Amino acid sequence: MDSRRNFLQTISASILALSIPRYGFASLEDFNSQPYEGPVLRVAIMGLGSYGTRVAEAMQACKMAKLVGVISGTPSKIKNWQSKYNIPEKNCYNYKNFDFIKDNPDIDAVYVITPNALHHDQVIRVAKAGKHVICEKPMALNAKEGQEMIEACKKANVKLLVGYRMHFEPKTLEIIRMRNEGELGKIMFFQGLCGFKIGDPTQWRLNKQLAGGGSLMDIGIYAINGARYMIGEEPVWVTAQETKTNPEKFKEGVDETIQFQFGFPGGAVASCLSSYNMSNLDRFFLTAEKGFAELQPSTGYGPIRGRTNKGELNHSHVTHQTVQMEKMAGIILANESARVPVNGEEALKDLKIIDAIYLAVKTGKKINLKL
């Protein structure tokens, strides 16, 4: 699975193709031919690791969003980013002093791309500084933290968005359109498979205190969120089972593999798997009375490949993070809306489900959900 863990590809301008219309996508030539003279969202990235780098690179093709600042605990990274992205010294902060962004009128929003356990406090601090927040998923370690983050942003009158890049992916949106318009008929079943073999056993994603769990808190959230937007309903119950074959690598509280099942009010069921010890798992499959839809790969950086009972989905590949940041700029600056929400309330639903999955694993019981 091509995931955010490894920054292995160079983003090419030839694949940075998107257009200003809310849900439309065009060629690079069409995009470049459309001048933009409106407001620009000025963004500081917090956390300059591999995924922060990927977002920064993708933002170079944005018209409505611009990278203007950095927040990091590593001075050498700050210096490198200053040079590479022409970031002024006054827009550079560390984790101790970034509250002072409140006095910086040149930063509109902060994109928090740090280990899961840090999101809660960092997002609240950004909100108190009066800046809009984009937070990587999962938004928090649990639903309680997520609710506190939402309330803090509302109190500060700033927007809270979450990095659900797949909510803007064209093949995904086409399947959602087909479902919404009744082309697939009654939805019966969804399968979501997310897995890869994780490497370095000392990395933060295998540290319970920083990650909050294991594979479920990293890639499992794709299947959780995908089941919801592919079926178009909220689950009403969940069951789950954990499998651990390597307790040395996957210590207490760090899940290696979790299987989980959902039931939906319309009668559909979902069967999903999240694993840090199985490769070649990146597939969504939806079956319905009139047809089916499949994405494989379904959530990697692309290109996403899809087909339905009507044939292949041939939408042009676009760089996910470029589109995400462009659309989020529209949400923050112009109060636009996303076809599939990317706000804190959307992320809170996933956190409630994650809490329930872990409870189902612990108790062996079916857990009822009220989202």
Burial class (CB in 10 A: 0-12, 13-18, 19+), 105: exposed
Alpha helices in 241-335 (DSSP H): 320-334
Q: How far apart are alpha carbons 69 and 153 in whole angstroms?
A: 21
C-alpha distances out from residue 263 to 7, 142, 274, 294, Å: 36, 21, 18, 20
Which pair of structure tokens corresponds to residue 184? Answer: 């697939």
**Residue 194 contacts residue 299 (beta carbons within 8 Å):** yes
**Residue 230 contacts residue 308 (beta carbons within 8 Å):** no
Element (H, E) at 181: none
Burial class (CB in 10 A: 0-12, 13-18, 19+), 284: buried
Nearest 5°: phi and psi at 258? -130, 130
What per-residue string of b and e applies to 238-251 under the rule 16 or more CB within 10 Å gives b? bbbebebeeeeebe
The residues annotated as belonging to the active site are 137, 222
Partners of 317 in beta bridges = none
**Strand arrangement, sheet containing 277-288:** 311-313, 306-308, 292-295, 277-288, 187-197, 269-275, 257-263, 237-243, 367-368
Partners of 43 in beta bridges = 67, 109
Nearest 5°: phi and psi at 71? -135, 120
Pairing of strands 292-295, 277-288: antiparallel
